[in-house]
Structure 1
Amino acid sequence: MTGKRLWAKRIGVSAAFILIGIPLLFLLSAWIGSSIPRNSDWAETQDGIEIFVGSNGIHTEIVMPIDSEVIDWRGQFALGDVSSPNLSYTHVSVSWGEKAFFLETPTWSDLTPSVALNAMTGGSGVLHVAWYVRPAPSEDFRPLRIGRAEYERLVSQVQAQLVPEETRETYAGYSYYDVFYDAVGTYHIGNTCNQWTSDRLADAGIKTGSWTPLPGGVMKWVPNMETP
């Protein structure tokens, strides 16, 4: 085999590894990392505050009652920032992600190579806030009951993610009930929107995976309530 052919073969093998091997290694590490629990001895509080953990197949979210003894979220997020502020909302959801990735990829089919590359190499964070009316449990929208102290820590975790109101920008959401706000943090492949969700839950003391870059790594720790 000539030197030119040998180099061509090596380049081909290297390209195949990059295209196939690296994604497989990422998926394997994500599966392993998400299977290692944090707060492994945690259990639900049957008479506690009900929250939800939801997934749309690309992003996960934490959903909380609008008003409780701990906080009224209307004092934190202005309902006037959404286009239909007068509906009978009962819950608010929060999730975090890279600005372009979050604003331009509501579903996997919207993802483009340029947006994906920018997200993997680092980008500024935004908080996605959506308002819901009496959300029902489902396979992709799962309830958890947590203690008051855990909820207080969760609330503090969410509040700490926001850029101060006087300096943060607001961006239109996907629909009439949601909005985006500038948030702290840098998005990259090791710190994804789904990692943000599990970090907030873990810091509140709730059981979840250690490294959860994909939505399934978050949802695997939330019991799936059987629906009719």
Structure 2
Amino acid sequence: MKLARAVFGWLGLAVGCYFLAGWVGSSIPSQPYYNEPRPGDDAVEIIIATNGVHTSIAVPLRSADMDWTRVFPPSDTANPFRLYTHVAISWGERAVFLDTPTWGDLSPLTVLRVMSVGGDALYHVEHWVRPAPSPDFRTIRISHRQYRALVRALLRDLPERTPDRAVYAGYTDQDVFYDALGTYTVYKTCNEWTGETLRMAGIETGAWTPFAGSVMKWVPPYRAHGSPPIQ
């Protein structure tokens, strides 16, 4: 019993230190790769989305800067016929993505393995139709130069496309998974990947963003139409 209490005590301390480090790291502002003037009227609007645990970056499906259908074609989904307007991109651990359609399906053994040795990565790509801004879907306006840098950052872990590229079924008929480079670890989490992507595009966020809240604390809060200005 003494040994068990000691083990759980040290484990609790380690978890507490991890969450504290995540709070501190995400509170330190990152230094953008370049100083970008305020976006003009032709700025690109992107969306930072969260479900409370996981974050993704949604961008226009087609624009003058990038046609995402060349990389993530809607034909890869089970419902390619909808008039999609946006594609939401995120990165995460393979087993967690493929084997846990709901959080209730998440195995403690999977969590332990990911925390100890990490795991292979996947891209999660969702196709959306005119997503409406909300507290969990927050918009950011960025310059075209930032957007082009964001495109490069979003693609950095995508292996070279081949005719037989694997496509894994998603949770709905509008999303799929693709193989990705990199290893998911307790340091490089799905949300830190989002934060790193934003930093590479010169969009200010936290220096280390391991949690969904670590990312969202830097995104301007949602304001409903007609709501008073934020003081």
Question: TM-score, length-normalised on structure 1?
Answer: 0.90
Q: Match of 2:202?
A: 205
Paired with 1:93 and 1:170, the residues of 2 have a C-alpha distance of 16
Aligned residues with identical type, % of pairs: 45
Q: Match of 1:4?
A: none
Q: Match of 2:27?
A: 35
Superposed, which structure 2 residues align to 1:188-203 within 5 Å? 188-203=185-200
Task: Tell me, yes or no, if structure 1 residue 162 matches structure 2 residue 154.
Answer: no
Aligned partner letter, 1:91: H
Q: Aligned-residue CA RMSD in angstroms?
A: 1.8
Instruction: State the 1:106 CA deviation.
Output: 4.4
Q: Match of 2:139?
A: 143
Is the partner of 1:51 in helix, strand or coil?
A: strand
Superposed, which structure 2 residues align to 1:111-122 within 5 Å? 111-120=106-115, 121-122=117-118
Task: Tell me, yes or no, if structure 1 residue 67 matches structure 2 residue 62.
Answer: yes
Superposed, which structure 2 residues align to 1:79-158 within 5 Å? 79-120=74-115, 121-158=117-154
Instruction: State the 1:118 CA deviation.
Output: 2.5
The alpha-carbon distance between structure 1 residues 43 and 153, as it changes in their structure 2 partners (threshold 3 A), is same
The alpha-carbon distance between structure 1 residues 44 and 142, as it changes in their structure 2 partners (threshold 3 A), is farther
Aligned residues: 220
Instruction: State the 1:42 CA deviation.
Output: 6.4
The alpha-carbon distance between structure 1 residues 129 and 15, as it changes in their structure 2 partners (threshold 3 A), is same
Paired with 2:47 and 2:22, the residues of 1 have a C-alpha distance of 23
Structure 2: which 5+ residue stretches go unaligned? 226-231
The alpha-carbon distance between structure 1 residues 134 and 145, as it changes in their structure 2 partners (threshold 3 A), is same
Deviation string 1:103-128 (CA, Å, 9 cap, x unpaired) is 23344333211221222212111100
Paired with 1:51 and 1:148, the residues of 2 have a C-alpha distance of 11
Aligned partner letter, 2:10: I
Range with greater deviation from structure 2 (162-171 or 207-216): 162-171
Aligned 8 A contact 1:44 1:145 in 2: no
